[in-house]
Each structure stands twice: as structure tokens, then as C-alpha cells.
Amino acid sequence: MSTMRAPVRVSRDDLPDRVTIWEVGARDGLQNESSVVDTATKVELVHRLAAAGLPVVEATSFVRPDRVPQLADAPAVMAGITRVPGVRYPVLVPNDRGLDAALAAGVTEIAVFASATDSFAQRNLGRPIAEQMAMFTPVVARAREHGLPVRGYVSMCFGDPWEGAVDPAQVIGVCTELLASGCTSLSLGDTIGVATPGQVRSLVDGLVRSGVALDSIGVHFHDTYGQALSNTLAALESGVTTVDSSAGGLGGCPFAESATGNLATEDLVWMLDGLGVETGVDLGALVATSVWMGERLGRAPVSRVVQALGR
């Protein structure tokens, strides 16, 4: 039996013509690995992802080494990357010290990481949700002074393992605070993968009604309950054009134990290709990259498309 190497294309008028895939495998994907991946492998992963046509490759995170040992080599990774014109290489920055290090490394785009719930803010940031902006506002302001775009990640947008359901108004409040502080875009995180399509459309529509520009909204789904692609399609139907994903389905969240892997980039590209939505991504090259990375991690990627095409 032969495997189809590409989906049949059937376009839909109610979807965006093009979607920007925000590849998080080299940062969010690797941060949860128990064995430390060497710097050269991380640099090659970034190079391979860019070569596969991904327009945004989140490269690393300038965090405290004792918090995320996997990313302790962030300066070396940034120094090792040969940057391709037209490809963006954002990094995560938690505080002023991280921003100092990122600027020294020649970073041109950063992200900060906020929470939509008190419980996760306390565990991840060490302070309640009401105080998290005090951490981010000076970082965002300084980054903007240097001309850097700043993305605001918002975790636990659809459910929290300690609090359960999350009030959409609370999520919208955090999002609008981030934008008011100077963030140029948002990423709505389903950190534990509990969202369903109606919930996604409702939150996106609520943000737009609150004055948030559609083109500033990205989505970041985890596939814990198998809903990541369904939720992505719902977001696209609402007009969202930026989707986060991770090559091979790498990653989770080290500070939320019930968080499983990210939406696999290959599975996303297969769906978008089939819908006639342009991404600029070479699926074959991407599959080969995830197979290569899986060999280095000693396990097969969880992506269904990699499993189908990577043999």
C-alpha cells in the first residue's frame, strides 16, 4: 500500500489565504527534555527549521539556568545561528536580566510569558496575577525603546489544572494589559490542552469585541485531548492567521505537569496544505528534520504525519 505524500487540496473561502507558523520546537519543544541537548544540535535544529521554510523560528530562552537547565546555553545558541534574511528568530525573556543578555546576543525580537490565572502565575512567576505586569512592563518598555517587537504569551487561557475553567474576561483583561504595556502581539495558550472549538471562537471573538486587532492574535494549542487541530481550524475560521506549533510535536510545559506535547508542525502543515492555505513550508524537509531530531533524542516524534511519511 502506497502512502500519499501530500493531501488533496480543497480551498475554502472563509479561511485566510496564508498563515504564519510560529515554530516553537527549539525553545518550547526542547525546554522540557530531561537530558540536555548539546548546543551544536540546537543550532542545527534552528538551521534546518529555517531551511524548511518556517518564517518564525523561536530559538531559545534567556532564563535562569537553574530554572531551565536545558536553555542555559542561550547566548551560545544565538551566537551559533546563521540568520537567514526574512526569517525571524524571537527569544523568550522573563525579566530585565534576561533582556540584557538577549540584547547582548543581538536578538531582534522577544517574547514575555504571562499567565491568565493566579495559580499558574504563582508557580511559574512566583507572584499573583495582579502583580505579574510589574515584572513585564519595564522589560517590554526597554525592548520597545530598542525597536524590538514583543510578543505576550498568555498561558492557561482555556483551563487551569488547579483552578479548572478560566473566565474569558480574566484572559481578555491580561491580554489588554499586555498590549497596553507595549506588546505588539499575543499568543493564546491552551497550556493543558483542554480547549474545544467553540471555546476558541468565543475567546477570539471576545478579544476582538474588546478592541484587540485580529492580526495581533496568535494561538498556541497543546494536544492533550486530541483537540489541537480542531481548535486551530476554529481559530482560523475566526480570522486568526498566526499559529504556534512544534516540529515533531516536541514539548510541554515544565511548570504544569498535566501539559503534554504541542501541536505538531507537520500535522498543522498537512491540514493547511489540504485547505489551500499557504505557509511556505516544505513538508518533506520538515518531516526529515523531525526524524533527525527524534534520532538525537532517542525516540520517534509523536507527529502523525511524521509517523506516516517519515518511514
Contact 43, 264 (CB under 8 A): no
Nearest alpha-carbon partner for 98 in 75, 70, 129: 75
SS3 257: coil
Selected catalytic residue, list 157, 175, 183, 253: 253
Type of residue found at 290? S
Nearest alpha-carbon partner for 270 in 232, 221, 300, 219: 232
175 annotated active-site: no
Tell me the chain's radius of gyration from C-alpha atoms.
18
CA dihedral (51, 63, 148, 127) positive or negative: positive
The CA distance from 193 to 199, in Å, is 12
Contact 91, 107 (CB under 8 A): yes
The CA distance from 108 to 103, in Å, is 8
> Which residues are designated catalytic?
253
